[in-house]
Chains A and B, each alone.
Chain A
């Protein structure tokens, strides 16, 4: 039976990419959930654009402190070793390669790893936030998104039709249906959601996929 991954499962799969000691920036939504699923035995340092490093798990609105938030406006917890600094410093860290991994949402990802995630063309106005700086400077960029739009449009495309956030910047795409790596040779299908075949994924993916020799079902 075909079973697409839910948001928590996607976040869990994304969290597996985080290595011990990584400095990590998480976007809003599914990426933020990844902070709940850091693999046992690994410790990562969370970074946020508003000027904080080393914070802990998300807090409920009722428990939160308005002076301790992440850039997505979520309340986070204090941790030993946490530090505060200015946004210019936070972005200096990003552009200079001090952030090892970022996990972001996506509207479209192209065959060569271009990312579009800051503006829906039909709205005519967009929130760029820190997305373009992360696209330009973060070490490894992982995108979590649904494989197709609500009305079935492909989101993994030959060329982005939406305004781009960064060019040739994405390393890995984790969708509800598959895990796809961006390589110099093209998009490599590494993993599929339970019950899906490579043909199923190709049918909802515009560029030609290279199927990994060891293609497997997503394991967590």
Chain B
């Protein structure tokens, strides 16, 4: 039997995510690279007490066209499904904008771990690379270094940072073949490419599914062994 990881619906792809799961959500911040349909399916599915690992908690209007509505992580906070967020940029830039996450955080409903973005990227990479932890110079001497081991190499201080792993990763790619080989488009590669490797189950929302063999092996960014489930966006929602 040829390998075929394509599922018929976003709902089917997220149906088994249990309460208490750790879920990575890909993309950067705007609609480009955001697995919006998978996020919506997870909201509708209703799993609670989730730990969400995501660059942002949903930023209204970020890198979107004027008037464009973006479905992002905010819907999970509105629906009170998240108990902890690990992020680099959790709140809107302007203090006058109040996001769903901000409200939940102010109400004490959700715990927050803020991570410098490069440390976050490397923790994801490590999580998918069998590396337990690493030393980085970022954040030495700041409040984000609290409680972390400091070690000096060649006269410079570094912090020990742990890998990030998850039960599920919800990501977006431009194209997949049926084996799950992925290619991305422009800056929408972003954290999707790391999360694909760092979760037990990686679920991909793609613009287009092609037959195995149609993607040039020289261009494949994420090899299919990292991918478990693929769902295509309906044409009108690409």
Find out whether the CB atom of A88 lies under 8 angstroms from the CB atom of B91: no
> In B210-224, which residues have CB < 8 Å from any A CB?
none
Find out whether the CB atom of A49 lies under 8 angstroms from the CB atom of B63: no
Residue of chain A at shortest CB distance from B143: A163
Find out whether the CB atom of B141 lies under 8 angstroms from the CB atom of A126: no
Give 1 or 0 for each of A81-104: 1 = CB within 8 Å of chain B CB: 000111110111011000000000
Find out whether the CB atom of A74 lies under 8 angstroms from the CB atom of B93: no
**Partner among A71, A129, A132 whose Cβ is within 8 Å of the Cβ of B142:** A132
**Looking at A120, A132, A133, which has the most chain B CB atoms within 10 Å of its CB?**
A132
Give 1 or 0 for each of B5-39: 1 = CB within 8 Å of chain A CB: 00000000000000000000000111111000000
Find out whether the CB atom of A61 lies under 8 angstroms from the CB atom of B93: no
Give 1 or 0 for each of A102-115: 1 = CB within 8 Å of chain B CB: 00000000000000
Find out whether the CB atom of A95 lies under 8 angstroms from the CB atom of B138: yes
> In A128-153, which residues have CB < 8 Å from any B CB?
128-133, 135-137
Residue of chain B at shortest CB distance from A67: B186
Residue of chain A at shortest CB distance from B102: A125
> In B104-143, which residues have CB < 8 Å from any A CB?
105, 112, 114-119, 121-122, 124-125, 136-143
Roughly how many angstroms separate A208 CA and B167 CA in the complex, as a whole number?
55
**Partner among A50, A61, A120, A132 whose Cβ is within 8 Å of the Cβ of B190:** A50
Classify the secondary structure of A's interface with B. loop
Find out whether the CB atom of A50 lies under 8 angstroms from the CB atom of B28: yes
Q: Does A154 contact B (CB under 8 A)?
A: no
Roughly how many angstroms separate A167 CA and B65 CA in the complex, as a whole number?
38
Find out whether the CB atom of B136 lies under 8 angstroms from the CB atom of A49: no
Could you list some 18 contacts between A and B, CB below 8 A? A61-B65, A67-B187, A69-B32, A69-B187, A74-B63, A86-B190, A87-B28, A95-B118, A120-B95, A127-B90, A128-B117, A130-B116, A130-B117, A130-B118, A133-B138, A135-B138, A136-B136, A166-B141
Interface residues of A (CB under 8 A from B): 28, 48-52, 61-62, 64-71, 73-75, 84-88, 90-92, 94-95, 120, 123, 125-133, 135-137, 163-167
